[in-house]
Amino acid sequence: MSVLAALRSLIFMIVFYSVTVPIVLLTVPVAALGRRPLRRYVLGWVTFHSWCCRWILGIRTRIEGDVPTEPVLIAAKHQAMYETLDLVRILDEPAVVMKRQLADIPVFGWATRRYGCIAIDRSGGASALRSMMREADLALAEQRAILIFPEGTRVAPGERPPLQPGFTGLYRRLGLPVVPVALDSGRVWPRGWIKRSGTVTMRFGAPIPPGLPRKEVEQRVHDAINALEAAA
């Protein structure tokens, strides 16, 4: 274990979380001003996170490919908390599909729902999927991109779990192109509190058209979000 990495990680935790707590508490009065001010407020928070990662941890993001500017379905690999915040910054206020448990956290969960995140209860069956679809329709009506981590959970580098059924349901319901995102954040942001300096690559793949058969779109998305794994 690097002493410098441990020191950087400790400073990051102190700085980022000591500022994040009052930011979360202030979402209540900010949310009273409307969804738009709240989303700009959240964008400021994730930009602060990016600043802390860059200048305290020594972690920066390298983007490959074209970042979409129109409403699309973004399907991203998930290896760390890092991309859950940095992709919000890069994509400029997308609606994020997240676990229901996060939406149940006091204040924070309320703020995420007010922001327009889409909560899904993976154990809730068909009714939970229908609720997710309705929330996705609202996001699309606001001309926002929708960000989903289709493998369903954070995984270590090298792991390639199958896609969860919620992804295909969204794909069919929304009729949007899918932009896959491969990334390798797990190299510098492993489980545990100590992070390593380095560059996180986020590779935006070519859009996959709507209307494809389930097996074909799942295979294409799965291959694309794991492209960096295959290269490694």
Q: What's the rounded Cα separation, in Å, for the pair 183 and 148?
A: 14
3-231: which CATH topology?
Answer: Glycerol-3-phosphate (1)-acyltransferase (3.40.1130)
- The whole-angstrom separation of Cα 146 and Cα 71 is 7
| Nearest alpha carbon to residue 5 among 202, 200, 198 | 198
Contact 203, 182 (CB under 8 A): yes
pLDDT for res 210: 96
pLDDT at residue number 42: 92
d(CA 163, CA 109): 25
Beta bridge partners of 146: 73, 95
Can you give the pLDDT at residue 133?
80
The pLDDT value recorded for residue 34 is: 85
Q: Which residues contact 17 (CB under 8 A, 6 or more apart)?
A: none
Q: Is this prediction's pTM over 0.75?
A: yes
Which of 71, 81, 113 lies closest to 16 in space, CA to CA?
81
Look at residue 122 in the predicted model and tell me its pLDDT: 64
pLDDT of residue 137: 84
Q: How far apart are CA 211 and CA 14, in angstroms?
A: 47
Stated length of the chain: 232
Which tokens is 192 given?
């545990």
pLDDT < 70: residue spans in the chain? 1, 122-126, 128, 230-232
Concatenate the DSSP letters of all residues of the chain into one string.
Answer: --HHHHHHHHHHHHHHHHHHHHHHHTHHHHHTT-HHHHHHHHHHHHHHHHHHIIIII-EEEEEESPPP-SS-EEEE--SSHHHHHHHHHHHTS-EEEEEHHHHTSTTHHHHHHHHT-EEE-TTSHHHHHHHHHHHHHHHHHTT--EEE-TT-S---TT--PPPPHHHHHHHHHH---EEEEEE-GGGTS-SSS----EEEEEEE-PPBPTT--HHHHHHHHHHHHTHHHHH-
